[in-house]
A and B are shown apart, each in its own frame.
Chain A
Amino acid sequence: MQAIIDQVHAASADKTPLQIRSGGSKDWYGNAPSGELLDLSSHSGIVEYEPVELVLTAKAGTPLTEIETLLAAHGQMLSFEPPHYGERATLGGTLACGFSGPRRAFAGSARDVLLGVQLLDGRGDVLNFGGKVIKNVAGYDVSRLMAGALGTLGVMLQASLKVLPRPAHAVTLQFELDQDNAIIRMNQLAGQPLPITAAAWIGGVMMLRLEGSEPGIHAAQAKLGGEVNPHGAAFWLAAREQTAALFGGDTPLWRLSVPAMTPPITLPGKQAVTWGGAQRWLKSDAPAEQIRSAAAEAGGHATLFRGADKSAGVFQPLPKAMLALHQRLKQQFDPHGIFNRGRLYAEF
């Protein structure tokens, strides 16, 4: 760890831009990384985990698979079901990107389970925010501010997460439905006391995942009907890891995060719906401007998730006052602007 701190000290002194990287499984995400490499891959290991506390603390470079394997051995899981996007995915990168998987709409996101961080700021100081307990309101919630900040505010050295028991049973049901009706149906069902933990629509089929105790699932199945998909686990994995056919090919992939009840968005290209309607994946060559205004009109925003041409920026531009606030926060945590410059927005 000292080598990492020393490198940041030196970079801070001579204002050298740094790119924070661990497994490198998400180099493609955000605006292009630049600057001298700050390698966290050796800063790895689970620091503390007592299953009955439902809290796990690990260093940033710890592989996600290592964490998930340990949790599974104790019947627990990361409830936000993070996508890995590669074998070398680490905890730090996952949190910095703020990625959450199919369970997100039902069990919360990466930021929801983030309880505390150890942060290396742009002056080279190591700060501790939050803690290792579920309820904690001492000081501003700087920990959660780091989720999705793409490392622009500092280096997350270590993080503590709330973990949850893994459901005993799972069943995936499928229903032939068009997109309009699937969106309405997913929202209707989410408002009922049913053990649904994932809902998606892809290629004319609505998929629902039920999880919990066996009797609970059987009862819900009886209410819902539909057809059991025997490859449910594989389906959700392919949706999470974007290995499903829809995500392939060179056409840009957009992520539209919109209110769950938003009707099908009229844009050229192929679409899939996840998060019970709140996340729309779009494979499209349409101009960024067109996609962003459609998302904004729906009350959401669009991200160029994967694509070669990032000249129009990856993330939805911020309103002026909001951008200024981001810049002031950046200035406070990283006064010389050394961390992941431009990775989130070109302005900082």
Chain B
Amino acid sequence: MIAASVIRDLHTLLPASAVLSVREDVAPYASDGLSAFQCQPGVVVLPETEAQVIAILRLCHAAGVPVIARGAGTGLSGGALPREDAVLLGLAKFNRILHLDPLARTMRVQPGVRNLAISEAAAPHGLYYAPDPSSQIACSIGGNVAENSGGVHCLKYGLTVNNVMRVRAVTIDGEVLEIGGEALDSPGYDLLALMHGSEGMLAVITEVTVKLLAKPERAQVVLAAFDRVETAGAAVSAIIAGGILPGGLEMMDKPAIEAAEAFVHAGYPLDAAAILLVEVDGTNEEVSDDVLRVHDILTASGATEIRTAHNEAERLKFWAGRKNAFPAVGRLSPDYYCMDGTIPRRALPAVLGGIAELSVQYGLRVANVFHAGDGNLHPLILYDANTPGELERTEAFGAKILELCVAQGGTITGEHGVGVEKIDQMCVQFRPLELQAFHAVKAAFDPQGLLNPGKAVPTLHRCAELGAMHVHGGQLPHPELPRF
């Protein structure tokens, strides 16, 4: 619970409508996009100026009250999950585009501006913002920075960290930091990289400057069907080995194809074990050249069917199945749980094989969509939350998949973040030494641990209890250090 005095003090900083503490007012903030985790926030504040953010943070700092920043609340790992004893700091009112410079190809925006709104504002100038997470119509740029969001074009165009030039952020003690800038680098340490994917645990972002790119003259997509997942995987490798850098390179397995086809009728071949979508973009001439080469490579790789989208309508239709894969799978089952591991591409057959075995073992169906270009795998586990024990079984299944990714040289999260969801798998991916270093980075920004506590980085104690930690001789490294 939050002390009544803190809520009273917040009222002195903000208009009455910007402080929510009644149960029905705070209820919509009880979860983010990972609705399996819910908690009523102690109080929700909705500031609209940086001065208000500073004042709120100073107040919380002085009172020792935790603060959880929230953008659009579309995150899939519970990074914005509230706490009863914390202030939930909603940044939705920071929704203005502050400055667009088409010549310099930069846009300065407030953190609550939606990802897609950036590209829409840039479009009249032939420019766009490259990272396009699937939630781009709703997710905000501040949240994108906090999670280092990806999308389907990361192989060629990078993640959020590669497309943001500057953030302005407020630390828990109310200090404003200018991090990065409109030049391509800045003096000192690369704190801009550190802010990306920091899940709101280092500072609260109040402004973001993004880099805009020239919209490619043309994009064309090729769809290829395969009778084996392994063959599709080998085709991906052959495309990369052929020196082609596709703008998008996506794979779906049979259950995902069937679900997508039933939902949006994209014309996917239902007898295929896997399909690939290969999109090349660039100038007209480059695309013409690349499409021919991709076609040849796919043929040589044993594709059973190859189709090239000949116009924009067809291109969008090919993509519609992939872009609607999640809701399509959602129609097959009352609930589904989306995982987010990344693996080296060569490990794909082994990981998909392992997932299939686990699927039998746990008695739960799974559909796989794969950002094949960058190795980011999204297994969607189908379950029914109303069947007692099924959610727990699903979570256990998901955890095993992530461990499989780590064992194959990959990572537990490619683009969704750790949040509360994958915090236990952090103990599998990292040793106590690295976890300690993460806590040390946090302490350099937020010594009292008030910003989004308990997320992203597990305590060593938690890992030890899980038995997942590599403890040598019963002795943690650096016994002189405090454990929290």
Q: Which residues of A are at the interface with B, using a C-beta cutoff of 8 A?
A: 50-55, 75, 98, 104-105, 108-109, 111-112, 121, 123, 125-129, 131-142, 144-145, 147-149, 153, 164-166, 168, 184, 187-188, 190-195, 212-216, 218-220, 257-261, 275, 278-279, 299-301, 303, 315-319, 321-322, 325-326, 328-329, 331-333, 344-345
Contact = CB atoms under 8 A, between A and B. Distances in A.
B37 interface: no
A125 B477 contact: yes
A261 B189 contact: no
Contacts of A318: 187-188
A190 B243 contact: no
Interface string B430-450: 110110011011111100000
B194 A140 contact: yes
Contacts of A316: 187
Given A139-B438, A144-B194, A275-B184, 4 more contacts: A52-B237, A137-B418, A261-B101, A321-B177
A262 B80 CA distance: 39
B243 A192 contact: no
Contacts of B238: 52
Given A184-B103, A299-B181, A332 B284 contact: no
Interface string B374-413: 1110000000000000000000000000000000011111
A300 B181 contact: yes
B214 A136 contact: no
B346 A53 contact: yes
Given A148-B190, A165-B243, A190-B214, A133 B342 contact: yes
Given A134-B342, A134-B375, A144 B214 contact: no
6 contacts: A140-B457, A141-B161, A148-B189, A193-B214, A213-B290, A301-B183
A105 B177 contact: no
B444 A137 contact: no
A145 B190 contact: yes
A326 B346 contact: no
Interface stretch (B81-89, B151-159, B257-265): B151-159
Contacts of A317: 187
B101 to A, nearest CB: 7
Chain B CB within 10 A, most for which of A105, A133, A140, A315: A140
A193 B216 contact: yes
A325 B191 contact: yes
A91 to B, nearest CB: 17
B3 to A, nearest CB: 29
B413 A328 contact: no
Given A132-B409, A135-B414, A187-B105, A195 B189 contact: no
A149 B185 contact: no
Contacts of A132: 344, 409
Contacts of B154: 134-135
A215 B430 contact: no
B417 interface: yes
Nearest to B173: A321
A299 B209 CA distance: 13
Nearest to A262: B183
Contact of B371 (A135, A144, A315): A135
Contact of B282 (A51, A195, A257, A279): A195
A104 B444 contact: no
B189 A145 contact: yes
Contacts of A319: 178
Contacts of A133: 342-344, 374-375, 409-411, 414
Contacts of B456: 139
- Give 6 closest A-B pairs by Cβ, nearest first: A144-B193, A216-B286, A332-B440, A135-B414, A215-B285, A300-B183
A134 B155 contact: yes
Contact of A193 (B101, B171, B189, B215): B215
Contacts of B171: 321
Contact of B147 (A125, A137, A147, A194): A137
B413 A215 contact: no
A187 B104 contact: yes
Interface string B141-177: 0000001101000110011011000000001000111
Chain B interface mostly helix, strand, loop or mixed? loop
A108 B177 contact: no
Nearest to B344: A53
Contacts of A194: 214, 283
Contacts of B288: 215
B54 to A, nearest CB: 13
A213 B189 contact: no
Given A51-B241, A131-B409, A132-B344, A191 B433 contact: no
A144 B190 CA distance: 7
A257 B147 CA distance: 28
Given A108-B162, A216-B289, A318-B187, A52 B426 contact: no
Interface in B345-388: 345-346, 371, 374-376
Contacts of A331: 444
Given A144-B190, A333-B440, A278 B409 contact: no
Contacts of A219: 283-285
A241 to B, nearest CB: 19
Contact of A105 (B125, B182, B184, B290): B184
B161 A144 contact: yes
B374 A121 contact: no
A136 B414 contact: yes
Chain A CB within 10 A, most for which of B285, B413, B438: B285
Nearest to A50: B346
Contacts of A98: 185, 190
Given A135-B375, A144-B190, A329 B243 contact: no
B415 interface: yes
Nearest to B184: A278
Contacts of A148: 185, 189-190
Contact of A213 (B194, B286, B433, B478): B286
A127 B374 contact: no
Contacts of B285: 213, 215-216, 218-219
A301 B414 contact: no
Contact of A135 (B159, B176, B442): B159
A123 to B, nearest CB: 8
A111 B193 contact: yes
A257 to B, nearest CB: 4
Contacts of B433: 125-127
A136 B457 CA distance: 15
Nearest to A299: B182
B208 to A, nearest CB: 16
A213 B244 CA distance: 10
Nearest to B195: A141
A113 B427 CA distance: 26
Contacts of A112: 158, 161-162
A328 B127 contact: no
A111 B190 contact: yes
B217 interface: yes
B189 A326 contact: yes
A274 to B, nearest CB: 11
Nearest to B102: A191
A241 B243 CA distance: 27
A93 B433 CA distance: 25
Contacts of B194: 140-142, 144-145
B70 interface: no
Given A133-B343, A325-B191, A191 B183 contact: no
